[in-house]
Each structure stands twice: as C-alpha cells, then as structure tokens.
Structure 1
Amino acid sequence: MKRTILGIIEAGEPLIQQAIEAMRHHREAEVAGKSPDELARLRLLADSLYQAVVDYHPRAIADGSQALH
C-alpha cells in the first residue's frame, strides 16, 4: 500500500477529533465552574492528546526512514 500525505492525515483524524473533544470538555468545565482538580485533569488530558497529534504526523511521514530528534 502506497502511503500518501492524505492517507496519513486521514489515519490521524480520530486522534485529532479526540484532542478537539478533550479541549471542548475542558472549556465547558471551566464555564461550568468545575473544581480546580477536575480542570487540571481535563487540561492534562487535552494537552496530552494535542501532543500526541503533534508527534504523530512527523513520525508517520518519516515512516521510520529517518531518525527524529
């Protein structure tokens, strides 16, 4: 199977959707006045999913053919 940029983006789409949803949950919790502990938990989840998205695409494009530092 030939890998294309479009294919890589489509493969990462569920992860992108999860990150967006996590950010939305965090924002809604802020507006609702949730506890600082709950906000911190939701923020950590949103941040980690965002970082996973950022890390996924360069690795998928490189396909192990070059080292990423």
Structure 2
Amino acid sequence: MKKIALFLIGFYRKYITPFTPRSCRFVPTCSAYAYEAIEKYGCWKGGYLAVRRLLKCHPFHKGGYDPVP
C-alpha cells in the first residue's frame, strides 16, 4: 500500500503538476511533504500528516516552512 501511495504521488508530481500554476504557500510543497511523510511513517500516519497539511492550504493560513516532524 505504501508503494502504491508513493507511486501515485510521484505520478501526480511528474505528469499533473507541470500543467498547474505554481501556488503552493508551503516549503516543502504539499506533494513533497506527503511523499516524505508516507516514506518516513508509512501509509496511515504519513497519510494522516499529509491530509492535515492539505487542510492548512487555504488563503487564511500564512504558509512558510513546515517540515515533516
């Protein structure tokens, strides 16, 4: 399951991201954060961290540097 999740994130980063405008307010980007979190903690905890990060992605959050814990 971990390999599938990492493959899907890699596919998104390689084939979908180039066609979207760059508007990420975080460093690292949300997809890089999700990839690193899943790689480090596995699918469940890493996925939870990734979803929590995605929920912060809105105009009222200042963004900035937010590494994987």
* Fold equivalence (TM over 0.5): no
Whichever of the two has the greater Rg, that structure is 1
Instruction: Give the helix-richer structure, 1 or 2.
Output: 1
TM-score (norm 1): 0.41
Larger RCO (CA under 8 A, 6+ residues apart): 1
